[in-house]
C-alpha cells in the first residue's frame, strides 16, 4: 500500500486521458512524473510535479499549467479535498476525511504486511560474516553480520526468497597455524610445556578453552606426533571454533541457513572443475605476472603460473590461482564457491565484505561474470570500520586477548538491541562511531531507546484503557484527525516507500532513521498532552477517541514491523 506509487500511477493515467481529450499535450517519454511528500512547512498530504514537467511542452508556465491540472484533477478524483498550486508549480493535494479514514483502516487491516511492496519475487543468496574459523568474532565482524542479517530480513519482508549463507575458509596455511596453536596449548596443559612464541600462532585464551574441550573428549589418545593426528585435531579444533562463532552470532540473534566449507569444495574437486571450465572459455592461461605496484623489482620473483583474465572484466591485473607449492590460492577457492552458488540458480548474489576486502571486489565480480556468462548479478556491500568510544576516549576491553574486542564483550556491555540498532544507524559505506555512553542512556540522544520507548508508551495507553493493542480499532462516524495526527499519518504513509527504497538500494540503514523520525513525531505529540487536555490520549473520565487510538495502533504496527526487520525487540514496558 504505497500511496505515493499508487497516485503516481493514477495521475499518469489521468494525464494520458487528458491528452486523448486534447486538453493537454504530453511528450512521448513521460517517466519523471513524481508524487512525494510536500515540503515540511506545507500541510498537504501529497505533492506532484506534473505541472513543471508538462509546462514547457505545452508552451505554458508551470503555475498556469498547474491551474489547468488542478481543475481537472478535482473533477476526476473525488477523494481530493483541495489542491494548492505553489511556486514553482507544485500541485499540493489534500485528501478528504473519508479517504484518510479509509487509509488508516487499511493500515490496521494490513498489520504485519503493512509496508510490503508488490515486486517480482527473486531468489537471493546473501553471504555475510564468513570470518576465518580461527577464533571468536570481533567488532569488525559484528557490523557486517548485523548488516547481512537485517538486509536478509528486509528482502524476506518484501517477498523475496533469501538464503543466509556463511562461507567457511577452512583451508590453507592459516588453518594449519590455528590447529598448531591448539596443539601447543594441549602440550602446555598436559605436559607443562611452555607455549611457543610465534607471530603466526594464535595466543588468545579461547585457544586454551578449545584445547581443554578436546582433551576432555578423549578422542585423541596420543599427542606425540602432530602430523599423524593433524586431520583429527584439525576437525575437532574447527568444530569448536565454529561453535564459538555460532554462539557469538546467536548473541546477535543471527542464524544462517547454510554453511559452505571451502575444504569440501576442494575435496569434491569443485575448484579444479571450475578452473577447467574457465580454461575452455579461454579465461585462464599460463603466464607471468608483473611485480605489484610499489614493490621493489629486485625482490620480485617472476614465475610461470595459472592466471585468471580478470582484466577482461575491468580488474586492475590478472589473478593467480595457484601458489608456488601447487596449492590453490584463496581466490581460486572463492571462485569455486561462487561457481557453486551460481549452480544453485540464484537470481542475485550479495556479498557483505569487511573494509579490508574492498580491493577484492573487482576480481570476484569478474570471476562471477566469467563463470555465469554474465547471467548472474553479484553485488558486493562493504561494511566499514567501527570505532568504539567510552568517556570520549577510544575503548579497548578484550579480556580474551587477541588484540581485538569480541562480539561477546560488546553484547555484555550494551546488549543485542543497542548493538544491532546502532550498527545499522548509518550507511554501511561510512565509518561508524559507537559511543557506549550514548547507547546506554535513556534519552532522545539514544535512538534505539527512543523508538522502543514510543512503543512502550503506546502499550501503556492501551493497558490503562484495558484495551488490546492488537485488536484493531473500529473507526466510528465521528472520525476526525487534528493537524498533529494528520502529520503522523503522513509519516506512516511513507513507510511502504521506505521499505521499497531500502529494498531496491539494499540499504537497511534507512529503516532506523525513519523509525527515529516517526518516534520523534509521536513523543512530540505526547508531550503536547501535558499542556493541553484536548490533546491527551486519555481524559480524566477514561474517554478516548477511536481515531486517535487508531493512529497509535498504526504507529505501533510500523515500529514493530521495522524493529522486526532490524532484529531489535519492542518491549511493552520500559
Where are the domains positioned within the chain? 3-95, 173-251, 447-566
Give the 3-state secondary structure of residue 41.
coil
**Lookup: cell for 541:** 473520565
Confidence of residue 490 (pLDDT cuts 50, 70, 90): very high
Q: Which has more confidence, 30 or 226?
A: 226
| Average pLDDT rounded to a whole number, residues 341-366 | 94
What pLDDT score was predicted for residue 400?
A: 41
Long-range contacts of 178-183 (CB under 8 A, 24+ apart): 178/133, 178/134, 178/135, 178/202, 178/237, 178/241, 179/230, 179/233, 179/234, 179/237, 179/238, 180/226, 181/207, 182/207, 182/210, 182/211, 182/214, 182/233, 182/237, 183/223, 183/226, 183/233
Q: What mean pLDDT is predicted for residues 509-537?
A: 93
More confident residue, 292 or 51: 51
Angle between the N-to-C axes of helices 483-493 and 97-110, in degrees from 0 to 180, rounded to the nearest 10: 50
Report the mean per-residue pLDDT for the chain. Answer: 91
| The pLDDT of residue 43 | 85
pLDDT-based confidence at residue 300 (cuts at 50, 70, 90): low
User: Residue 291's pLDDT band (boundaries 50, 70, 90)?
Assistant: confident
Summarised one tens digit per residue, pLDDT across range 390-399 is 888 887 654 4
Q: Is 3.40.50.1360 the CATH classification of the domain at 3-95?
A: no
Strands of the sheet with 35-36, listed across from one edge? 35-36, 46-48, 90-95, 80-86
Dmax of the chain from CA atoms? 95
Nearest to 38 by CA among 79, 94, 92: 92
Q: Which three cell numbers stand for residue 219?
A: 578422542
- Whole-number Å distance between alpha carbons of 95 and 44: 8
Set of cell numbers at residue 557: 504496527
Angle at 405 between CA 425 and CA 571, to 5 degrees: 45
Helix axis angle, 3-20 to 495-505, nearest 10° = 90
Beta bridge partners of 91: 48, 85
pTM for the full model?
A: 0.91
Q: What mean pLDDT do residues 539-556 have?
A: 86
Tell me the pLDDT tens digit for each residue of 186-214. Answer: 999 999 999 988 888 998 889 999 999 99
- 8-state DSSP, 308: E
- For the cut 60, the answer to whether the pLDDT of residue 303 exceeds it is yes
pLDDT of res. 420? 97
Q: Which of 104-118, 143-157, 397-411 has the highest mean pLDDT?
A: 143-157
Instruction: Write out 276-302 in H/E/C secondary structure.
Output: HHHHHCCCEEEECCCCCCCCCHHHCCC
245 burial (CB, 10 Å; 0-12 / 13-18 / 19+) is buried
Report strand pairing: 80-86 vs 90-95: antiparallel
Closest to 347 measured CA to CA, from 564, 163, 129, 133: 163
What does the DSSP assignment read for 113-154? GTT-------EEEEE-----SSS--BHHHHHHHHHHHHHHHH
Q: What is the pLDDT of residue 41?
A: 78
Report whether pLDDT(508) > 80: yes
Q: Is the pLDDT of residue 293 over 70?
A: no
Class of domain 447-566: mainly alpha
* 172-181 burial code (b ≥16 CB/10 A, e <16): bebbeebbbb
What CA–CA distance (Å, rounded) separates 380 from 475? 47
pLDDT reported for residue 294: 60
Residues 318, 307: contact at Cβ < 8 Å?
yes
What's the pLDDT score for residue 399? 40
Rounded average pLDDT over 403-410: 82
Find, among 150, 26, 67, the residue nearest to 417 by Cα. Answer: 150
DSSP secondary structure code for residue 572 in this structure: S
Q: What is the DSSP string of 490-504?
A: HHHHTHHHHHHHHHH
The predicted structure's pLDDT at residue 292:
67
* Cα–Cα nearest to 565, from 141, 115, 151: 151
CA atoms within 13 A on the CB side of 492: 29
CA 407 to chain centre: 18
Instruction: Note the helical H segments in 385-469.
Output: 407-414, 416-423, 436-440, 447-464
Residue 391 grid cell: 568517556
Position 336 confidence tier, pLDDT thresholds 50, 70, 90: very high
How do strand 305-308 and strand 348-354 relate by DSSP bridges?
unpaired
DSSP 60-119: S-HHHHHHHHHHHHHHH-TTEEEEEEETTTEEEEEE-HHHHHHHHHHHHHHGGGTT----
What per-residue confidence (pLDDT) applies to 573?
95
Amino acid at each position: 500500500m504505497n500511496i505515493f506509487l499508487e497516485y503516481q500511477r493514477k495521475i499518469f493515467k489521468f494525464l494520458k486521458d487528458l491528452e486523448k481529450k486534447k486538453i493537454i499535450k504530453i511528450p512521448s517519454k513521460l517517466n519523471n512524473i513524481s508524487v512525494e511528500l510536500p515540503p515540511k512547512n506545507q500541510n498537504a498530504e501529497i505533492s506532484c510535479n506534473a505541472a513543471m514537467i508538462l509546462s514547457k511542452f505545452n508552451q505554458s508556465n508551470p503555475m498556469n499549467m498547474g491551474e489547468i491540472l488542478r481543475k481537472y484533477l478535482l473533477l476526476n478524483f473525488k477523494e481530493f479535498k483541495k489542491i494548492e498550486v505553489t511556486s514553482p508549480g507544485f500541485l499540493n493535494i489534500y485528501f478528504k476525511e473519508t479517504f484518510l479514514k479509509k487509509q488508516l483502516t487499511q493500515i490496521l487491516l494490513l498489520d504485519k504486511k503493512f509496508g510490503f511492496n508488490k515486486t517480482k519475487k527473486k531468489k537471493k543468496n546473501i553471504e555475510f560474516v564468513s570470518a576465518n574459523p580461527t577464533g571468536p568474532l570481533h567488532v569488525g565482524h559484528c557490523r557486517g553480520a548485523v548488516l547481512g542479517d537485517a538486509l536478509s530480513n528486509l528482502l524476506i519482508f518484501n517477498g523475496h526468497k533469501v538464503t543466509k549463507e556463511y562461507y567457511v575458509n577452512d583451508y590453507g596455511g592459516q588453518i594449519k597455524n590455528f590447529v598448531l596453536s591448539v596443539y601447543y596449548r594441549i602440550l602446555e596443559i598436559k605436559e607443562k610445556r611452555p607455549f611457543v612464541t610465534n607471530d603466526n600462532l594464535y595466543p588468545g585464551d579461547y585457544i586454551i578453552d578449545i584445547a581443554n574441550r578436546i582433551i576432555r573428549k578423549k578422542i585423541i589418545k596420543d599427542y606425540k606426533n602432530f602430523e599423524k593426528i593433524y586431520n583429527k585435531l584439525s576437525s575437532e579444533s574447527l568444530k569448536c571454533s565454529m561453535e564459538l562463532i555460532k554462539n557469538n552470532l546467536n548473541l546477535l540473534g543471527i542464524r544462517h541457513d547454510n554453511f559452505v566449507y571451502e575444504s569440501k569444495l576442494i575435496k569434491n574437486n569443485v575448484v579444479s572443475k571450475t578452473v577447467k571450465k574457465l580454461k575452455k572459455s579461454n579465461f585462464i592461461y599460463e603466464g607471468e605476472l608483473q611485480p605489484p605496484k610499489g614493490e621493489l623489482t629486485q625482490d620480485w620473483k617472476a614465475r610461470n603460473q595459472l592466471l585468471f583474465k580478470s582484466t577482461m572484466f575491468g580488474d586492475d591485473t590478472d589473478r593467480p590461482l595457484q601458489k608456488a607449492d601447487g596449492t590453490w590460492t584463496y581466490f581460486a577457492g572463492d571462485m569455486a564457491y561462487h561457481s557453486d552458488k551460481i549452480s544453485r540458480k540464484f537470481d542475485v548474489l550479495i556479498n557483505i565484505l569487511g573494509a579490508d576486502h574492498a580491493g577484492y571486489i573487482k576480481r570476484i565480480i569478474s570471476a562471477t561474470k566469467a563463470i555465469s556468462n554474465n547471467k548472474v548479478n553479484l553485488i558486493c556491500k562493504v561494511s566499514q570500520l567501527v570505532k568504539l568510544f567510552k568517556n570520549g576516549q577510544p575503548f579497548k576491553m578484550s579480556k580474551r586477548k587477541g588484540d581485538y574486542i569480541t562480539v561477546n564483550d560488546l553484547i555484555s556491555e550494551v546488549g543485542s538491541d543497542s548493538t544491532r540498532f546502532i550498527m545499522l544507524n548509518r550507511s554501511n559505506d561510512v565509518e561508524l562511531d559507537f559511543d557506549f555512553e550514548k547507547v546506554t542512556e535513556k534519552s532522545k540522544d539514544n535512538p534505539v531507546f527512543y523508538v522502543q520507548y514510543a512503543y512502550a508508551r503506546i502499550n501503556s495507553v492501551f493497558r490503562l484503557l484495558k484495551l488490546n493493542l492488537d485488536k484493531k480499532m473500529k473507526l466510528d462516524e465521528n472520525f476526525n484527525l487534528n493537524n498533529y495526527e494528520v502529520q503522523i499519518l503522513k509519516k506512516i504513509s511513507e513507510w511502504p516507500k521506505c521499505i521499497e527504497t531500502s529494498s531496491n538500494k539494499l540499504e537497511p540503514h534507512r529503516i532506523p532513521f525513519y523509525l527515529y523520525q516517526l518516534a520523534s513525531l509521536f513523543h512530540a505529540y505526547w508531550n503536547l498532552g501535558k499542556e493541553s487536555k484536548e490533546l491527551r490520549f486519555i481524559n480524566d473520565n477514561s474517554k478516548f477517541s477511536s481515531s486517535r487510538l487508531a493512529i497509535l495502533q498504526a504507529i505501533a504496527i510500523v515500529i514493530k514491523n521495522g524493529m522486526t526487520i532490524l532484529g531489535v525487540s519492542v518491549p511493552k514496558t520500559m
